Amino acid sequence: MRILILTFGTRGDVQPYVALAHAAIAAGHEAAICTAEGFRPLVEDADVPYLHMSNDMLDLIQSEMPTMSGAADSFRLVRRMTAAMRASLHDQWEAAQTFEPDLLIYHPKSLGGLHIAERLHIPVAVSLPLPFFTPTRAFPVPFIARWPLGGTANRLSYQLNRITALAYGGMINTFRHHTLGLAPMSRWSTYLTLTDGRPVPVLYGFSSAVVPVPADYPPHAHVTGYWFLPDQTSWEPPPDLRSFLAAGEPPLYIGFGSMGFGKNATTRGATILDAVHRVGARAVVATGWGGIDLAVGFDDVLVVRDVPHEWLLPRTAAVIHHGGAGTTAAGLRAGRPTLICPVLGDQGFWAERVYSLGAGPRPIPIRRLTTANLTERLNQLLTEQSYRKTTDRLGLAIRSEDGTGQALRTLERVS
């Protein structure tokens, strides 16, 4: 197979696809990734060919997210990204013409995937590391963490899939007509049906040990297991991190990844520091894109910007984070009890999954984080033995999966 992967977003939206491309190349296929220029080092460090996509959308996200305070700010940011989205569509088409794939896989944030595959008359699959596209009675669409009305309402909630066509259908139809020479599509489309009426195959890169496959999932929905890059065995920690880990008991890991929301970053940092001191723990705190602003100079707390999760998390006692799909996967793979403080999007869904599985205490939405409730949850993380037993079992199950291999075997069947 000659596989082109289109993806966009934060690191958690890109790294799993780099892992899939890396595995495809190792299996004898050809593969390349088109994504924002800022992720070019991540792609090329995995020995995967990179194809250009403008960095304009990523620049906007990185500049605006540190000062955002909630979902309303997110919608305003999306509106500002329209021009960059148009440029991205053309970059995706240029990448496809350059690489000449015979199979296309796309993340839904890369809006051109389905339409480019139609223009090239090649098989296509949409992919996401959360169960977003397939209606089920088992749980609501993941942007709704809880839904009180039962199975029928759960299935109806997946009408949210139409939001892409409602929000961007005009831009997409312009791209289809003027660039690809295709007929327009309905502004009520889910973009999940091929021209011959068959459903678009869906690859879900998460573990059935974390989200059991619903009994009402159709055959075109494939849960493969997580997609992880090979461990970076050559990565060397900076001296201060190595010394800190060697100086005492395994620390907590605390980080909110790409979730900036920096209007309260200083207060949030003080809350974290106070809670860590109250429970008598040590901690490595990752500042990420600015969600935490923390004073330095404490013997029991080390502040870092970013450390590979696959290296650090197995060396910790427990993990506290925002609930991104990738960070959730990394923490559970490492077998570490987990507390999630969700901010937006699907993070509430992963928070509820971790809690329901018994892998950690009840989540705390980031807007409700206080010294008192964080101290209570940290004490639970560190003392409740059932969490560690559960995450030991989950970690073993996740590590035994071959997510990228299963994805490739699925693609060979559907292409």
Is residue 341 pLDDT above 80, yes or no? yes
Q: Above pLDDT 90, what percent of the chain?
A: 70
Give the residue-averaged pLDDT of 190-204.
Answer: 94
Q: Which CATH superfamily is domain 239-399 in?
A: Glycogen Phosphorylase B; (3.40.50.2000)
Q: Grade residue 145 by pLDDT with cuts at 50, 70 and 90.
A: low
Mean pLDDT of all residues belonging to the chain? 89
Q: What is the pLDDT of residue 117?
A: 97
Q: List the structure tokens of 400.
A: 């035994």
Least confident of 34-38, 153-157, 284-288, 289-293: 289-293
Q: What is the pLDDT of residue 182?
A: 97
Give the residue-averaged pLDDT of 142-159.
Answer: 83
Partners of 301 in the β-ladder: 283
Q: What is the 3-state secondary structure (H, E, C) of 339-407?
A: EECCCCCCHHHHHHHHHHHCCCCCCCCHHHCCHHHHHHHHHHHHHCHHHHHHHHHHHHHHHCCCHHHHH
Q: What is the pLDDT of residue 287?
A: 80
Give the residue-averaged pLDDT of 28-35.
Answer: 98
Q: Grade residue 135 by pLDDT with cuts at 50, 70 and 90.
A: very high
Q: What is the pLDDT of residue 256?
A: 81
Q: How far apart are CA 369 and CA 352, in angstroms?
A: 17
Is residue 228 pLDDT above 90, yes or no? yes
Give the residue-averaged pLDDT of 127-144.
Answer: 92
Is residue 195 pLDDT above 70, yes or no? yes
CATH tag, 2-223: 3.40.50.2000
Q: What is the pLDDT of residue 63?
A: 66
Q: What is the pLDDT of residue 19?
A: 97
Q: Above pLDDT 70, what percent of the chain?
A: 89
Is residue 67 pLDDT above 80, yes or no? no
Q: What is the pLDDT of residue 289?
A: 58
Q: What is the pLDDT of residue 150?
A: 86
Q: Grade residue 161 by pLDDT with cuts at 50, 70 and 90.
A: confident
Is residue 183 pLDDT above 60, yes or no? yes
Burial of 276 (0-12, 13-18, 19+ CB in 10 A): buried
Q: List the structure tokens of 14.
A: 């890109």
Q: What is the pLDDT of residue 362?
A: 96
| pTM (2 d.p.) | 0.90
Give the residue-averaged pLDDT of 304-333.
Answer: 92
Domain boundaries, the chain: 2-223, 239-399
Q: What is the pLDDT of residue 286?
A: 87
Q: What is the pLDDT of residue 69?
A: 52
Is residue 70 pLDDT above 80, yes or no? no
Q: Model confidence over 76-117: pLDDT tens digits? A: 666 667 888 889 999 999 999 999 999 999 999 999 999 999
Q: Model confidence over 4-14: pLDDT tens digits? A: 999 988 888 89
Give the residue-averaged pLDDT of 40-53.
Answer: 95
Q: How far apart are CA 3 and CA 95, in angstroms?
A: 12
Q: How far apart are CA 364 and CA 362, in angstroms?
A: 7
Is residue 415 pLDDT above 80, yes or no? no
Within 10 angstroms of residue 119's Cβ, the number of other Cβ atoms is 17
CB-CB contact of 20 with 335 (8 Å): no
Least confident of 66-75, 303-312, 347-356, 386-395: 66-75
Give the residue-averaged pLDDT of 368-372.
Answer: 92
Q: What is the pLDDT of residue 261?
A: 53
Q: How far apart are CA 139 and CA 157, in angstroms?
A: 9
Which value, in Å, is the radius of gyration of the alpha carbons in the chain? 21
Is residue 258 pLDDT above 80, yes or no? no
Q: How far apart are CA 140 and CA 130, in angstroms?
A: 12
- The reply to whether 2-223 and 239-399 are identical in fold is yes
Q: Model confidence over 201-225: pLDDT tens digits? A: 999 999 999 999 999 999 999 999 9
Helices (H), 71-150: 71-80, 82-99, 113-120
